[in-house]
Structure 1
Amino acid sequence: MESAVLIFTALSGFGVFLFRAQTKYFFSLFLHTLLIVTASSWAFRALSTGGLMQFNLLELAGFNLSANIDSLSAFFLTIISLTLLIGLLYANGYLKLYRKTLSDVRLSLHHLALLWLHISLILVNTLREGTAFLSAWELMTVSAFGLVVFEAERKEILKTGFKYLLQMQIGLALITTAFLIAKSNGSVAGFETLDAYFGGHGSLPVFFLFFVGFGIYAGFAPLHTWLPPTHLTAPSHVSSIMSSILTQMGIYGILRVLVSVHTDLFPVGLLILTASFITAFVGLRYTFTQQDGKRLLAYSSITHTGIIGIGIGIGVLGLAFHTSALAALGFTGGILHILTHALSKSLLFQCIGSIYRATRTRHLEQLGGLMQTMPKTSMLFSIGLLALCGIPPLTISISETLLYAGLLKGLTVDNSLLHVLIWTVLLSLTFLISWSMFGFIRVFRRTFLDAVRSEAAAQATEVSDDMILPKAIAGLSLLLMGLFPNVVLKLATQVTALFVTDLHSLDDIAPVLTYLGIGGVALAGFLLWTIKFRGKIQKPVSLNYRRPNTLNKPNPEPEFG
């Protein structure tokens, strides 16, 4: 059954060329639904049994392609299924304009690339043998390239796409080199051989190769340069998928390697933590200097990649200092942040896409007053921003609470070096979160509550319901997971169990998260009520829209979908 679905969808994908206009979208959606149901069932079975599920993906074709699904694979398969469903639903409304301007062949290629991206994401998370994994990784890269260059007739887009492809090939070369070095005598290179290699050799040199290779895809600084321009040129539904799950495949690769790392834990943890702090500060440094909404969110994604890495780095340091509470809470906080960031960024990129459809601009300084003209999108955008700022009961507040709890637990250990590291992390993390909160509040006020600053913003109207529904699903998911934190905590705990054996500290923190969710309901309700009913939208400033002025000049950079 498992192999039948993958083979059927892979071959049937070429059927999109037989359909026209919106029919090809519904045919593609049917194939994606088969993949979502299949991957979700694998994840559920793996998580419910708590062990490793193995089967042959190509049994019907007479070949052997072993799939292995543990809690880490199941966790990422769950995120892939949820965020891709949201992105696919949004694509229906977002592609309406393209159906009028692009040929059926171009649209068919787009749907085929999206389908093969979905298949490759599933394969990346289930294959362990080196050649098979690297082939799936390359398929994922090439499929994403096809999506990024959707409007390939524009030279800027094609140039950006090839830069992305080049940097991904560098990452692939580093990962391949690491696999070859770690290959045991007479065995096949892959994740399964890493235990034997790291057991007899120092972990840091080979882990460094893996970290840089996967880190390019995740967007760790200074390897992040491909990410903002790629988001800028890709259609908004593609940007939402790339930010929510595609870049997180780099994090998956790092975690998959860490499962086998049991030596050199202190330098490995310090490497991850240092790179993560640099990434978080670089991302935040440039986030709020951007005027293009998609570029702003792209740099914000870099910041949150850093925060995820901080959680993982804390977890590795906890293992190095034999502090189970620090390790368990650090890993769980970082892992949960992957899920919450995926949903919030999916929501926000789709909101920016809706604003672009309504105003034909993403230049934030040309907007203003959208709470009045686009109330549904404005409210959903506010939920996404509150989530990114860590406001309870939205789920990012859970991951950040776990990180803080782990750091405070670590202070109880009598070790001066660990105390220095923890206080550095505590102060830096607090600064990052505070800076992010202040910046996003300013962005929301300028875009939605301040005076209308252009004719495009003044004439904006709300987008259609088929572009509202997927954003509502993402926003509701964020709220529900924040209200019922123990459900997502249990999911993340099973992943943490791959790294840490003593998980009692997570049982201790569970009641705190419940109270946080309950108290957060009142806080979030008050904030949303304030935004909706008390946010005084200023009267439009007196502008002659036909006369050029500094407030409504067009963005000097070309804008794409």
Structure 2
Amino acid sequence: MESAVLIFTALSSCGVFLFRSQTKYFFSLFLHTLLIVTASSWAFRALSTGGLMQFNLLEIVGLNLSANIDSLSAFFLAIISLTLLIGLLYANGYLKLYRKTLSDVRLSLHHLALLWLHISLILVNTLRDGAAFLAAWQLMTLSAFGLVVFEAQRKEILKTGFKYLLQMQIGFGLITAAFLIAKTNGAAFGFESLDTYFSSHGSLPVFLLFFLGFGIYAGFAPLHTWLPPTHLTAPSHVSGIMSSILTQMGIYGILRVLVSMHMDWLPVGLIIMTVSILTAFVGLRYTFTQQDSKKLLAYSSITHTGIIGIGIGAGVLGLAFNMPALAALGFTGGILHILTHALSKSLLFQSVGSIYRATHTRNFDQLGGLMNSMPKTSLLFSIGLLALCGIPPLTISISETLIYAGLLKGLAVDNALLHGLIWTIMLVLTLLIGWSLYGFTNVFRKVFLDAPRSEASVQAKEVSDDMILPKAIAGLSLLLMGLFPTVMLKMAEQVTSLFVTDLHPLDDVAPLLTYLGIAGVVLAGLTLWFFKIRGKIQKPVSLNYRQTNSFNKSKPAPEFG
């Protein structure tokens, strides 16, 4: 009975109003656990068989709602289960303060929204019928809105929430319009009609509508304006969930459309690549101008959306130029980057939340010296930053290596246009990685290694273990996936096979990934040795913590959880 757990969870979700304080959390965690176990089992079965799993979600109540899980759906279901588990575990410690300051009803609404977000994410990834998918998509949007406006008593937060909701409705309208156009000649309304439509019509107009609609949710520039303020106002555990998986539903939608396409690969590839490069640079341009750590991570998410798009765009260009190696490595690199980015952003947003709990600020100019006072958070934060920079053995280095390998394979084709594109993309990726490494190194130094710049930073203490454990799970996952890359590669191959039939290039590059992991272990050892010889941070002899910072004299923006 595949539908029993989903229906039971949906019906039981309002039970959060019956409990008080932390009991409410444990009840909702029980329901989330049922969903995680169910979705994970679906993902495992679909990925292990490599086929399509179909069943009726409403069979238990005598209605028909067809669920279809292929390797693409299974891959995202696995990410949803992992990142939500990490976020939910972290929420227990992070919500302690809110349990003392917010009403019982407000907390119940928060847990209810989180449960329905989980349910809607599962539905979005399993439904193909247009009406059912759009209903699940709208439910996902509204649930996320409820989480963003958690502290709705603050007008700034409510205003940000409604701006987010408005932009999501624009995207929803574009997706609906694309489905309506594709519904021709009596074809079904939804993804099932796309194969028929694309086989007899030009792909570009409908693809553009889908790309714009899903691109708003993914945060592609210039459609990204909702993302930084939304992350800024949401609680840290919600920001981690949004950045790690919620925005990636836009990428899922784009990939789902690409599965059904048969032509126009070159213009589609150029569109994806151009927008992705623009997105990556826009995100990176604003990342390191931020003083608020959550806003910095939000713009970094935009950058990595661009890198994911670059990988997918490279895969599409491989199809356009009949280059299986470029297609396979490009798609696989972009797909794996979704997973690695999800884990690293979960870790970093939770680390920022821990720092905020300890210091009551997210402003870099008011931090410093946290390596001594918060050593566990410091270590885990450094893992997240190194992962974002693509440093082995952490997993983002694997996805970027695959993209590079695919681009180099593409140079074997004697085509001037393709060569020009490849050299441009490689230059862009190199600049992005180098700029990120330099910027995040400065961030880490400023927050953890420099002398404290405020009294709160001096008095900071490490957060409780219930806020350390989820970050440790995310960090350990990043390390293990980087050290054993072939496991991740095999999982991603199942998704890539939806676009490319020849997967031999992935087997050829597997040894390189293993050597990369070994080299990463050596690099990690040298990094730990550096921190050891760095010694304890010297506290300043005299420091006026109330002195106005000369680099930031403007009135600071209000900070939220």
User: Which TM-score applies when normalising by structure 1?
Assistant: 0.99
With over 3 angstroms needed to count, the CA separation of the structure-2 counterparts of 1:326 and 1:115, relative to structure 1, is same
The equivalent of 1:155 in structure 2 is: 155
With over 3 angstroms needed to count, the CA separation of the structure-2 counterparts of 1:286 and 1:103, relative to structure 1, is same
* CA–CA separation in structure 2 for the residues paired with 1:272 and 1:251: 11
Q: Shift of the alpha carbon at 1:553? A: 7.1
* CA–CA separation in structure 2 for the residues paired with 1:45 and 1:433: 36
SS at match of 1:501: coil
1:385 counterpart letter in structure 2: L
Question: CA contact under 8 A between 1:545 and 1:552: conserved in structure 2?
Answer: no
Counterparts in 2 of 1:436-515, with a 5 A limit? 436-515=436-515
* CA–CA separation in structure 1 for the residues paired with 2:540 and 2:350: 26
Question: CA contact under 8 A between 1:453 and 1:551: conserved in structure 2?
Answer: no
Q: Shift of the alpha carbon at 1:546? A: 4.1
SS at match of 1:67: strand
With over 3 angstroms needed to count, the CA separation of the structure-2 counterparts of 1:85 and 1:413, relative to structure 1, is same
The equivalent of 2:241 in structure 1 is: 241
2:309 counterpart letter in structure 1: G
* CA–CA separation in structure 1 for the residues paired with 2:535 and 2:239: 30
Question: CA contact under 8 A between 2:372 and 2:536: conserved in structure 1?
Answer: no
Task: Say if 2:507 is the partner of 1:525.
Answer: no
1:159 counterpart letter in structure 2: K
The equivalent of 1:9 in structure 2 is: 9
Q: Shift of the alpha carbon at 1:188? A: 2.3
Unaligned runs of 5+ in 1: none
* CA–CA separation in structure 1 for the residues paired with 2:552 and 2:541: 12
2:475 counterpart letter in structure 1: G
The equivalent of 1:99 in structure 2 is: 99
The equivalent of 1:387 in structure 2 is: 387
Q: Shift of the alpha carbon at 1:524? A: 1.3
Q: Which moved more, 1:549-558 or 1:2-11?
A: 549-558
* CA–CA separation in structure 1 for the residues paired with 2:432 and 2:536: 29
SS at match of 1:2: coil
With over 3 angstroms needed to count, the CA separation of the structure-2 counterparts of 1:378 and 1:554, relative to structure 1, is farther
* CA–CA separation in structure 1 for the residues paired with 2:300 and 2:104: 35
* CA–CA separation in structure 1 for the residues paired with 2:379 and 2:239: 21
* CA–CA separation in structure 1 for the residues paired with 2:464 and 2:200: 60
SS at match of 2:22: helix
Q: Shift of the alpha carbon at 1:547? A: 4.6
Question: CA contact under 8 A between 1:454 and 1:551: conserved in structure 2?
Answer: no
With over 3 angstroms needed to count, the CA separation of the structure-2 counterparts of 1:555 and 1:382, relative to structure 1, is farther
* CA–CA separation in structure 2 for the residues paired with 1:459 and 1:365: 16
Question: CA contact under 8 A between 2:71 and 2:495: conserved in structure 1?
Answer: yes
The equivalent of 2:426 in structure 1 is: 426
Question: CA contact under 8 A between 1:89 and 1:470: conserved in structure 2?
Answer: yes
2:70 counterpart letter in structure 1: D
* CA–CA separation in structure 2 for the residues paired with 1:303 and 1:397: 15
SS at match of 1:542: coil
Question: CA contact under 8 A between 1:379 and 1:532: conserved in structure 2?
Answer: no
Q: Shift of the alpha carbon at 1:191? A: 0.6
* Corresponding pairs, count: 561
Identity %: 84
Q: Shift of the alpha carbon at 1:539? A: 2.9
* CA–CA separation in structure 2 for the residues paired with 1:296 and 1:395: 21
Counterparts in 2 of 1:230-379, with a 5 A limit? 230-379=230-379
User: Which TM-score applies when normalising by structure 2?
Assistant: 0.99
2:414 counterpart letter in structure 1: D
Question: CA contact under 8 A between 1:292 and 1:362: conserved in structure 2?
Answer: yes
1:93 counterpart letter in structure 2: G
Deviations 1:495-527 (A, max 9, x none): 000000001100000011111111211111221
Q: Shift of the alpha carbon at 1:173? A: 0.1
Task: Say if 2:121 is the partner of 1:117.
Answer: no
* CA–CA separation in structure 2 for the residues paired with 1:323 and 1:541: 63
* CA–CA separation in structure 2 for the residues paired with 1:451 and 1:3: 56
The equivalent of 1:220 in structure 2 is: 220
Q: Shift of the alpha carbon at 1:536? A: 5.6
Deviations 1:50-69 (A, max 9, x none): 10000000001111000000
* CA–CA separation in structure 2 for the residues paired with 1:168 and 1:546: 42
Q: Shift of the alpha carbon at 1:386? A: 0.5
SS at match of 1:55: strand
Question: CA contact under 8 A between 1:368 and 1:446: conserved in structure 2?
Answer: yes
The equivalent of 1:167 in structure 2 is: 167
The equivalent of 1:205 in structure 2 is: 205
| Structure 1 residue runs of 4 or more that deviate by more than 6 Å after TM superposition | 551-555
The equivalent of 1:81 in structure 2 is: 81
